[in-house]
Amino acid sequence: MATTAIKADQLTTASGAAPPLAELLKAPTGISGLDEVTGGGLPRGRPTLLCGPAGCGKTLLAMEFLIRGISRFDEPGVFMAFEESAEDLVANVASLGFDLAQCEADGQLVVEHVDLLGGEMEVTGDWDLGGLFLRLGAAIDAVGAKRVVIDTIETLFGAFSNTAVLRSELRRLFGWLKDRGVTAVITGERGDGTLTRYGIEEYVSDCVIVLDHRVTEQTSTRRLRILKYRGSLHGTNEYPFLIGESGVSVLPITSPGLRNSASTQRTSTGVARLDAMLGNGGFYKGSTVLVNGTAGTGKSTLAAQFCDATCSRGDRALYFAFGESEAEIVRNMSSVGIDLRRWVDAGLLQFRCSRPSVLGLEAHLFAMQKFADEFDPAVVVMDPVSDLLRIGTGADVSAMLTRQVDFLKAKGVTALFTSLSSAAEPAQADQQIASLVDTWLLVKTMEGNGEHNRVLYVLKSRGMAHSNQIREFLLTDQGIELADVYVGPQGVLTGSARQAQEAQERFDGNAWLEDLEQRRVNLERRREAVEAQTAALWREFEDEADIVGRLLSHGSIGVEDRAGQRAEQGRLRRADTDEPAYIAHPSDIGGVK
Amino acid sequence: MNVINHPNVVIAPAEEVWHLRLYVAGQSPKSLHAIANLTTLCEEHLTGHYEIEIIDLIENPSLARSDEIVAIPTLVRLLPPPLRKIIGDLSNTERVLVGLRLQPDTSR
């Protein structure tokens, strides 16, 4: 098992190409997260000091180290308790599912309680802690222990007044533990300005882990820090940890590896046009989606529609709500035609509603992961993640969400987070988780014409040819619909401006048709006029032709007559004329106008 | 020295048997000193009415657990009650007598 532990060089981004030389051997703790931040566990065969104030979880962490050693790594252990009796210990850790009595019966564990409450002891000369050594030695031999916990050795300082002897004896004890080759965890109470009350950190120099228990804004968070780890790289941050139903869980800020598989399967968003915007098909299965927007932009509705689509495919969806109750969500969504009740009744949809301030961030995370494990959903919704900022800083929330994303991705669950942002400044959480999400939808309102209208666009979507267009986001009786927006000289038009634009375009279209009709009618009229004119011309022509015909038939007689007359007139006038006097005007030919 | 009126001091009556147990670890100098010192002290102060039981924890390590022994050497006064524990090689006779309540504590 030890070989599967993450090696130290994987934790940091150091070049790490050179093969490690004589690497420090480590004993994996089996505590989730702790092996990651220690780069594989505690120094094997050496003592580790675990210190912190009262109630920070020292005893529990140390006990889990032993129990995991027994159950996972087949390393028997000895728990030497100075404070609690064996019976108390058994009862206290039973709540975390550790069965000490069974381990003891199996010969894997010795719980050695050292009772120092026998009153003050008279010191009469030279002494040593030989009895303690013998007892510890006997206990180690009894089970062949590889792991030893001493909790809390500083209690000895209360029982023995001669601290000089005690210090030299403790130094001897730690040396002796090293010689025995056991991996030891020694707990110490936090002192005033020092790590431990009696400064025993001087003697334990290989690895020092500090636990802390702080209350920030009424929310208590336990934190763990590796102060020192001689000969090993380690995470240097303060890591939140929590004590859950199955022991201690340390939450590293960074996960050691990104080894999630990537599905090419798509899962519909429930909104056909949104699927189309995401390059036909919707979100990738197992991807992380952030729907970000200002208040009242329909983020939850989008989430609900996604759940609805998921459930109608027969998959399960888990909805974590931080702002509304199940009944409220179901009612509100029914107003836009999304019937979630039927899926809840069918057991396909589960709501987990709680105010963020009920638990600390880590406890929320823990609870969510537990529910997700139990329900095994295809889709998880967290609505809205920005509410978590009330109980933690942006960095804390981002760390928690990172952890959540990793967890969900490992399970192949598609996650949809909504996030509320104010128009002025994007929410802190968004900035922090921007790189975590695969698809980022932005919903916002556009103000204009005395109204707010919702628009949606795809800010980013990894690995798909997504639309770059803004769509108007409409909440109808049948859920969400996306409409085209109009882009004109005045910018993007939405809402009534869009409707006005549509009407205008319709009107403009009609006008054009009317115009065409008018022109057609005009043309027709013109044709009629032309035909009439043509007919008139033909008639004129025919009349003229008729006249000309008639004139031609009478011409021979006339010419002779006129020639006679002209001759006569010439004679009378004593002059000649070239002009044929009988055609004085063209109109004289026809007689018709 | 007004010993008799001191409330914490038991002047052992001759008929009462003192039962003392000394826990040691092997034949270390501390153990040997403790045994020698205890024998001398008992002969002097509890002449004839004491019993000393010496337990070597290296031979019987399990007794360290059952009798709650941490430091070595440890002297336990089993009788008369109450039970009292004294640690060290018993070289400081006065502190041993104080511890056994055979002498008042004048140091405080």
At A6 the pLDDT is 44
pTM above 0.90, yes or no: no
Helices (H), B29-75: 29-45, 61-66
Q: Between A579 and A357, where is the model more confident?
A: A357
- With a CB cutoff of 8 Å and minimum separation 6, the contacts of B16 are B49, B79, B80
Distance from CA of B94 to the nearest CA of A (A): 8
Q: With an 8 Å Cβ cutoff, are A126 and B30 in contact?
A: yes
CB of A183 closer than 8 Å to CB of A46: yes
**Sign of dihedral through CA atoms A200, A202, A204, A210?**
positive
Intra-chain end-to-end CA distance of chain B, in Å: 16
CB of A461 closer than 8 Å to CB of A274: no
- With a CB cutoff of 8 Å and minimum separation 6, the contacts of A560 are none
ipTM: 0.82
Give the Cα separation of A421 and A590 in Å (integer): 95
Task: Indicate the pairing of strand A451-461 with strand A439-448.
Answer: antiparallel
B35–A contact, CB cutoff 8 A: no
CB of A109 closer than 8 Å to CB of A100: yes
Whether A10 has a pLDDT exceeding 50, the answer reads: no
Give the Cα separation of A149 and A49 in Å (integer): 10
pLDDT band at A379 (very low <50, low <70, confident <90, very high): very high
Distance from CA of B103 to the nearest CA of A (A): 13
Whether A306 has a pLDDT exceeding 80, the answer reads: yes
Q: With an 8 Å Cβ cutoff, are B88 and A126 in contact?
A: yes
CA distance to A68, A97, A143, per residue, from A103 (Å): 11, 12, 11
Nearest to A240 by CA among A207, A212, A208, A209: A212
Quote the tokens at residue A165: 């002897």
Q: DSSP readout, A406-439?
A: HHHHHHT-EEEEEEE--SSS--HHHHHHTTT-SE
Q: Each residue of A48-102: pLDDT tens digit?
A: 989 888 878 888 888 889 888 998 899 999 999 888 888 888 888 887 778 888 8
Q: With an 8 Å Cβ cutoff, are A121 and B95 in contact?
A: no
Distance from CA of A366 to the nearest CA of B (A): 40
Judging contacts by C-beta atoms under 8 Å, the chain B residues touching residue A138 are 61-62, 64-65
- Residues of chain A above pLDDT 70, percent: 85
Dihedral-angle region of residue A387 (phi above 0 means left; psi in -120 to 50 means alpha; beta otherwise): alpha
Top-ranked range on mean pLDDT: pick from A261-265, A352-356, A529-533:
A529-533
For residues A300-314, give the mean pLDDT: 90
Distance from CA of B52 to the nearest CA of A (A): 18
Assign B73 to helix, strand or coil: coil
User: For residue A502, how many other CB atoms are within 10 A of its CB?
Assistant: 14
Judging contacts by C-beta atoms under 8 Å, the chain A residues touching residue B99 are 122, 124
Is the bond leading into A252 cis (omega within 30 degrees of zero)?
no
Quote the tokens at residue A101: 């009595």
Mean pLDDT, all residues of chain A = 80
Q: How many CB pairs under 8 A join A and B?
A: 103
Q: With an 8 Å Cβ cutoff, are B71 and A112 in contact?
A: no
Assign A158 to helix, strand or coil: helix
Judging contacts by C-beta atoms under 8 Å, the chain B residues touching residue A125 are 33-34, 37, 88-92, 95
Judging contacts by C-beta atoms under 8 Å, the chain A residues touching residue B72 are 127-131, 134
Contacts with A, B 85-104, CB within 8 Å:
85-92, 95-96, 98-99
Q: With an 8 Å Cβ cutoff, are A134 and B71 in contact?
A: no
pLDDT band at A591 (very low <50, low <70, confident <90, very high): very low
Whether A227 has a pLDDT exceeding 50, the answer reads: yes
